[in-house]
Amino acid sequence: MTPPNRARRLLLHPLLWTALLFLALPWTAGSDPFHGQWSGFVGIATTMVIFALFASGFNLLFGHVGELSFGHAMFFTLGAYATALYANGFNVTVLGAVLAHGKGDNMLVALALSLLLALLWAWLLARIIIPRSSGIYFSMITLAFAQIVFFTTYRWSDLTGGEDGLQNVARPTLFGADVLRDSDHFYWFAALCVFVALCVLYWILASPFGSVLHAIRENKQRARFLGYDVDKYRVNAFVLSAVFPAIAGWLWTYFQQAINPDAGSVEYSGNVVMMSLLGGMQTFMGPLLGASVYYELQNEVSQATKYWEAWIGVVFVVFVLAGPRGIMGIIDDVRTNGVAAILRNPFKREEPVEPTFDEALKPLDESPAVSETGVR
């Protein structure tokens, strides 16, 4: 392999662009750290990175396995409530037994509980849902299960605080230092956590396991007849795709310092679908860009009109019609066809014969020449 090729691959590496995006986000949304206008707006950037992780986890299933879950907010909300309950403590009676816990301030314990809860629930659902359904039925069943979680958080007031949720969650300390109370610090903390989680996600997608997921997305029957236990892969993918939203929920609770049932609502489940489509569902960067653009739009448009959701809907429709492969698809088109060709005929384009930007997602084995010098 020639060095320029390797340099090019490194330059196009999605994780590099993810890091650059996260470094740039605090400068978006009207914030200007160079002139002291930082703290008021950095909250939007924090929301962006947390939802970038939520959407990316969801998209593991949606974009890479080809199964649309309409209930992924359930894992987000489970992670968020586990964190809030651990941090604030609780005292409830279940079937005559008293369950109680004092306040907790170890954020790693909160993370472990969030992951455990989401993993158990996802594994249980996967075992029930996966062998029995795919396609539209899969979407409907995930929606139904998400509603179970939503109404539990909404109705079980003794534990969850009902409609008001849980308030006054203390920000965790970092090695004993109370630095995360500051919004700027919290942004960098969240961005780092999300980046680490995304590195793991990238590794999963670029591994042989990830390529089997793509095979299943493209052709379940063929994958089966090659000898792949397709349902086992779908179960594993489902569970993995629950992990990342739970981590996002953990960050969300600490960021908001409160949580209410909305976090598990259909609206949240729908938002990550929109973010993935907006950014480009079959790419790694897509959901990240989608989440960023979504909140940037929300911020800009909501200052101009209270009907901002309708305008975002319009943007969404235009994207689905003109750029079904999302922002990443547009970037690809510009790189292959040039801007002029796209402006001439925005609604009809040839897809590139060879994969382009996505190629960075297949780092090791595109051809043997590449695999010899694999970066991993």
Partner 1 sequence: MSAPAPAVPVPAAGTGYIFKTSGLTRRFSGFTAVNDVSIEIPEGGVRTIIGPNGAGKTTFFNLLSGLLPPSEGRMWFRDREITGLPAYQRARLGIARSFQITNIFGRLTVYENVRLAVQAVHDGKANFFLPTARMGKLAERTERVLHDIGLWDARDTRAENLSHGDQRRLEIGLVIARDPPVLLLDEPLAGMSPTETHETVELITRISPGRTILLVEHDIDVVMTISTTITVFQTGGVLAVGTPTEIRANEAVQRAYLGEIA
Contacts with partner 1 by CB under 8 A lie at 207-209, 211-212, 214-215, 218-219, 221-230, 232-233, 236, 353-355, 362, 364-368, 371-372, 374, 376
**Burial grade of 211 (CB within 10 A; 0-12, 13-18, 19 or more):** middle
Q: Write down the least CB distance from residue 268 to partner 1, Å.
A: 30
Q: Write down the least CB distance from residue 60 to partner 1, Å.
A: 14
Q: Which is nearer to partner 1, 60 or 87 (CB)?
A: 60
Q: Which is nearer to partner 1, 3 or 208 (CB)?
A: 208
Q: Which is nearer to partner 1, 257 or 337 (CB)?
A: 337
Q: Is the dihedral of CA 133, 213, 197, 104 positive or negative?
A: positive
Q: Write down the least CB distance from residue 356 to partner 1, Å.
A: 11
Residues in the chain: 376
Amino acid at 15: L
Q: Which is nearer to partner 1, 198 or 212 (CB)?
A: 212
Q: Cα(264)–Cα(158) distance, rounded to whole angstroms?
A: 18
Q: Write down the least CB distance from residue 232 to partner 1, Å.
A: 7
Taking alpha carbons only, the member of 48, 20, 45 closest to residue 271 is 48
Q: Write down the least CB distance from residue 368 to partner 1, Å.
A: 4
Q: Cα(183)–Cα(176) distance, rounded to whole angstroms?
A: 18
Question: Both tokens of residue 336?
Answer: 């292959």
Q: Which is nearer to partner 1, 106 or 373 (CB)?
A: 373
Q: Which is nearer to partner 1, 185 or 362 (CB)?
A: 362
Q: Which is nearer to partner 1, 108 or 353 (CB)?
A: 353
Q: Cα(115)–Cα(243) distance, rounded to whole angstroms?
A: 6
Amino acid at 198: L
Q: Write down the least CB distance from residue 365 to partner 1, Å.
A: 6
**CA separation (Å) from 353 to 31, 306, 337, 349, 358?**
41, 43, 12, 12, 13
Q: Write down the least CB distance from residue 131 to partner 1, Å.
A: 11
Taking alpha carbons only, the member of 39, 325, 45 closest to residue 184 is 39
Torsion of the alpha carbons at 296, 301, 303 and 306, rounded to the nearest 10: -130
